[in-house]
Structure 1
């Protein structure tokens, strides 16, 4: 991994942490808060790609494990990984990876801005909504003792906000692609 890759990965880990400064919104009917940090996960995937985006998330989770209060609401420590929201936290790694992987495959410089934006949006929706929810809801249903149906229905309250976050991440991905492309170049087929 080059120095540039390390710097970019650390930068996006810092962005995810900074988004944790925004207070969480608790819903009451589900023990998982709404946070802005999933936007950082989406942005890491669309801007950095699969490997570097996932690594940025791993850095954040290591900080959490070492007790740093970097999650929304000043949360941190190993106990977080036993909480009902742990599935979403572990899912961040896979969400960033899938978002980045799809961004790397769907977006290239020859496309129009609209196609690039839509491709980034689809990558964020598939990676950071579908994949993330698969991890989060499964863990919430099993370890949280809620049952799958209640966990699924309760998690649907996050969809509108996450779609907005995916749109913002797509706009950022497109802006970075125009000004300073960071996605790994695709190999010619």
Structure 2
């Protein structure tokens, strides 16, 4: 017969989870507001945002990683200028980057789900597998939803919008690889993070 988990332990675990979610939401915000530049000329800036999102997912797993992204989005939507180029407020959801914002928590959940399973079952393959999944997510989720958002906002064809999105792919794939490497190092230093997923 299993013993019930003490209430104090559950509280400590919940507090730790909240602290980690808040910390990674803040990291994503920092990555988003660092100096950026537009590579397409259509108002979608190049930032380190995807690095923060992939790192949150790879370190925290699907649920906590997605919650960190959702917290970031909620704070930015409330008006704090933590979106790219220092923007904030609900108007971003009807802007050219809206599709990307919608994609972020989905991307974090997918990468985090895979990262959790690999971290437990085959830690040696963690960096390679998470890098590959991040690359697929970059194109298949973030790229597709970002393209749809740009197509609607700019009133251009999906083909044209896809052309605007493609310059980001290589950079975001590299960010995913770097995030996987950093996350693997974090797991080695703090193995309890893997156990809690």
Compute the TM-score of the two structures, normalised by the length of structure 2. Answer: 0.86
In the alignment, which of 86, 95, 114 is matched to residue 83 of structure 1?
95
In the alignment, which of 67, 80, 104 is matched to residue 92 of structure 1?
104
Whether contact under 8 Å (2:40, 2:167) holds in the other structure is no
SS state of the match for residue 86, structure 2? Answer: coil
Question: Hey, what does 2:159 align to over in structure 1?
Answer: 149
Moved over 4 A (4+): none
Whether contact under 8 Å (2:29, 2:49) holds in the other structure is yes
In the alignment, which of 117, 121, 132 is matched to residue 122 of structure 1?
132
Gaps of 5+ in 1: none
Q: Decide which structure has greater helix share.
A: 2
SS state of the match for residue 2, structure 1? Answer: helix
Aligned length: 184
Separation in 1 of the partners of 2:66 and 2:122?
A: 26
Q: Is residue 133 of structure 1 aligned with residue 143 of structure 2?
A: yes
Moved more, 28-37 or 155-164: 28-37
Separation in 2 of the partners of 1:126 and 1:167?
A: 12
Deviation at 1:129, TM superposition (A): 4.0
Deviation at 1:132, TM superposition (A): 1.3
Separation in 2 of the partners of 1:24 and 1:166?
A: 18
Whether contact under 8 Å (1:107, 1:120) holds in the other structure is no
Whether contact under 8 Å (1:19, 1:37) holds in the other structure is yes
In the alignment, which of 43, 50, 74 is matched to residue 38 of structure 1?
50
Structure 1 residues 128 and 89: CA distance shift in structure 2, 3 A: same
Gaps of 5+ in 2: 1-12
Separation in 2 of the partners of 1:5 and 1:139?
A: 32
RMSD value over aligned CA atoms? Answer: 1.8
Compute the TM-score of the two structures, normalised by the length of structure 1. Answer: 0.89
Q: How big is each residue's C-alpha offset from its partner over 1:97-144, in whole Å with a ceiling of 9 and x where there is no partner? A: 1110111123326542xx121022123223344211121112222343
Q: How big is each residue's C-alpha offset from its partner over 1:27-72, in whole Å with a ceiling of 9 and x where there is no partner? A: 2443311111111111111110111011011111111111110112
